[in-house]
Structure 1
Amino acid sequence: ARTIEDAVRILEVIAGYDPADPITKVCQGKVPDNYTQFLDKDGLKGARIGVFRKYIDSPTTDPEVKVLTEKAIADLKALGAEIVDPFVIPDYEKLIKNIWCNLFRHDVNNYLASLGEDAPYKNLREVVESGLYSPYIEGRLKRALEVKLRPEERDPPCLDLYQDSRNIAFRNAVLKAMAKHNLDAIIYPTWSNPPRKVGDFESPAGDNSQYISPHTGFPAITVPIGFTDGSLPAGLTFVGKLFAEPLLIKFAYAFEQATKHRRSPEKFPALQ
């Protein structure tokens, strides 16, 4: 999406129950018919927002990303938000340890099977044997092939985030920390570092989108906060509680409209 409004219009189309995705059962009766009604330029007034500094003050955080994030926090204050800084999730490292389940092989095989006779490959092994992929991801693909057991057969089993005890514990810890400060949302840089070049496995990656939102089920939205190295975009992520999409839309839209950080990519003109 180019803008928050674009993202909201897409959300209106894709949000809701999908029989092919059992986890979406929890959203039944909780999805508004119209998300665009929450596009509010004054949406940050009175909002209580926590700053998750673990992703900002990391020793490997890019200095430019840190400067842009601090400026964004100041902008949020100026726009009427009450900032709680720092926001801490007690036992964060302990809670996220071993929280991941590698479902890549399982999910890719299911997807390819759903294509029927039109599938270019029948399973992940055929994809790997084809060699038609960047060397950058070769190791990850081959490691995925080593996962033999189905998700429910593993020890502990890989369950969805509403049944898995590790995800439940993490979600409860985040909720408790937010409740302690009566927060509407928490924020952190979407990435703590500029993107690495293809093939660079050594530079810090800084991807902050792999834990809090995916393993709690909480909604998240990212908004531009400026550029590093002149042309590489940086973003700020807002995370809210379950089904707090309306609030996040208000916050992100108000910030976007006030700061206007986005600019069109120089080498990619608008589509006709």
Structure 2
Amino acid sequence: MNKRSIGSALLIGALTIFTFVLWPAKKAVSNKRKNEAEKENFQLEGASIADIQLAFKKEQLSCVELTDRYLERIYAYDQQGPAINAVRMVNPYAREEAEKKDKERAAGITGALHGIPVILKDNIETGDGMPTTGGSPALAANTAEEDAFLTAKLKEAGAVILGKANMSEWAYFLTEGAPSGYSSIGGQVKHPYGPESFRAGSVGGSSSGSGAAIAADFAVIGIGTETSGSILSPASANSIVGIKPTVGLVSRSGIIPLAGSQDTAGPMARTVADAAIALGAMSGVDDKDPITKTNKNKDLTDYSSFLKKESLQGARIGVDYSFLSEKGKEERQLIERAIEDMEDQGAVIKEVEIPNESFESLVLWHELKQDLNAYLRKTPEQVPVSSIADVIAFNKEKPHERMRFGQTHFEKAEKLSGDAEDPEYVKHRQTDLRLSTTEGLDVVMQEEKLDALLFENNHGAAMPAKAGYPSITIPAGYTSEGMPVGVTLTAQAYSEPRLIELAYSYEQASNRRRAPQLV
């Protein structure tokens, strides 16, 4: 072999080594460095389900790493810094759950919420040993043997339960005059936005912790509950999206009740898309909650197909201006701007007058005694109360700690029969239904052929709450002081698909939300 042949052979050998050994190794190191850089640069603040799932797919992020980053953020801003106090308890098994999700993903198992951190309102049960307190010291030891139905559904979809969110005590129905977001066991949830002047007491009730946590990026999804305004209020106040579903779409089993005819759980998120995905994951028919068997959308588990940007084109939306703030107020101006945004997208806005007969209903107090007593009778032995009467007595033992603002609603409920056959209760419930449906929302929606009704914040929450109808709220902007304002859309039973279409179309066209500046 001549020198040229030997040289050629050496060159070919070197190229072979480089091509099949060194280059792949160099490429692997380069990819590893790139992934590490992308992990460090992954923008947690404002991250959506789609953003996170893409990062998982590209192996730029693991479930454990994501969970760790949310836990670090909770420590930095919820417990330290501005001390938002949105999270009552971090799930001690959150990291373990995340590790399982990483293994499942490696095995090809995924779901709509796979690896997505979710925080639950503290009236929703988990079977992992975390107490479900409802904000009351009386339930500090209230551990459940199994997950609430909706908790189990979220886990089936792959969610990582990050912890329990603080809430207004007993779903903001212990007493009158207490600030929203306050509980004897968790203290005061603070507002993530704006000056100190409205940090406390204006975060909305009673899913205040869920709302503040999602606004402050302590999780991707929050789960709240509503009897009348308790999802819509904190969602609007914290500049996030909140869906209050039709009563019957989401099971209430495993949730501390307030009033069964109006209670429902629903998702809270930073975007309509994320809220829609969570809604599909948490809904379903539950034998323990018979009303879910009436769900007309029981086979609908994916609402993402309703995320359509052009949905406002030709939509008919009614506005009763008596439900808005006074003319000239900033909140009113922001809602009027939202109306203009919708008109720009092709919506037809109709000024309407919603029948709104005044009636002093006692349904909530009757059902509170009936439903809460039934729940408390089934709590574990270590729980010191088994009735509303017991709770009242328990609070009186240490009034400065347990009932700083009184307990007027509980005392009022205790005086009632708590009997589902009580003539007064039956009459009041029938009146509520009649005034909210056939002589209320149904009338105006049918006469004007409306797709939805529009309200400011939660100002129109009472009527659809009594009817069991759905609503969705979306960020509409901020006052000069920085206080968020939401625009809320309401429609008839099981119209969640249409409401999601309209909300998504408005959100994409307006893009009003901005993140709070936590320092």
TM-score by length of 1: 0.78
Task: Give 2:320's aligned amino acid.
Answer: F
Residue 336 of structure 2 corresponds to 70
1:62 deviates by 8.6
Offset of residue 21 of structure 1 = 2.5
SS in 1 for 2:443: helix
Q: Which residue of 2 aligns with 1:201?
A: none
Residue matched to 2:124: none
Q: Which 10-residue stretch deviates more, 220-229 or 177-186?
A: 220-229
Unaligned runs of 5+ residues in structure 2 are: 1-267, 396-400
| Matched positions, count | 243
Question: Residue type of the partner of 1:113?
Answer: R
SS of the aligned residue for 1:11 comes to helix
Candidates 402, 410, 414, aligned match of 1:145: 414
TM-score, normalization: structure 2? 0.43
Residue of structure 2 equivalent to 1:83: 349
Deviation at 1:118, TM superposition (A): 5.2
Distance 1:137 1:213, change over 3 A: farther
RMSD of the alignment, in Å? 2.6
Instruction: Name which of 313, 320, 324 aligns with 1:56.
Output: 324
State the match for 1:234 in structure 2. 485
SS at match of 2:513: coil
Deviating 4+ runs (over 4 angstroms): 28-31
Which residue of the partner structure matches residue 308 of structure 2? 40
Specify the code of the residue in structure 2 equivalent to 1:186.
Answer: L
The aligned residue for residue 170 of structure 2 is none
CA distance, structure 2, for counterparts of residue 67 and residue 141 of structure 1: 38
Contact preservation (8 Å) 1:30, 1:243: no
RCO comparison, higher one (Cα < 8 Å, 6+)? 1
User: Mean alpha-carbon deviation: is it higher for 9-18 or for 129-138?
Assistant: 129-138
Q: Which runs of 5+ in 1 are unaligned?
A: 192-206
- The aligned residue for residue 247 of structure 1 is 498
Query: Which one has the largest radius of gyration?
Result: 2
| Separation in structure 2 between the aligned mates of residue 62 and residue 116 of structure 1, nearest angstrom | 54
Q: CA deviation at 1:181?
A: 1.1
Verify the 8 A CA contact 1:152 1:158 in the aligned structure 2.
no
Distance of aligned partners of 1:112 and 1:183 in 2 relative to their CA distance in 1, 3 Å threshold: same
Change in Cα spacing, 1:119 to 1:261, as seen in structure 2 (3 Å) is farther
Determine if the alignment matches structure 1 residue 24 to structure 2 residue 276.
Answer: no
Whole-Å separation in 2 of the counterparts to 1:229 and 1:258: 22
How far has the Cα of 1:219 moved from its partner?
A: 1.2
Amino acid at match of 2:449: N
The question of 1:98 aligning with 2:399 is answered no
1:262 is displaced (CA, Å) by: 2.0
Deviation at 1:29, TM superposition (A): 5.3
CA distance in 2, matches of 1:3, 1:25: 29
For residues 98 and 130 of structure 1, the distance between their equivalents in structure 2, rounded to whole angstroms, comes to: 29
Which residue of structure 2 lines up, in the alignment, with residue 258 of structure 1? Answer: 509
Partner Cα separation in structure 2 for residue 100 and residue 31 of structure 1: 35
**Which residue among 441, 445, 457 is the counterpart of 1:190?**
457
2:378 & 2:357 partners in 1: Cα distance? 37
What is aligned with 1:123?
Answer: 387
Shift of 1:145: 2.2
Distance across 1 between alignment mates of 2:294 and 2:372: 24
SS at 1:238 equivalent:
strand
In the other structure, the counterpart of 1:170 is: 436
What SS does the corresponding residue of 2:437 show, helix, strand or coil? Answer: helix
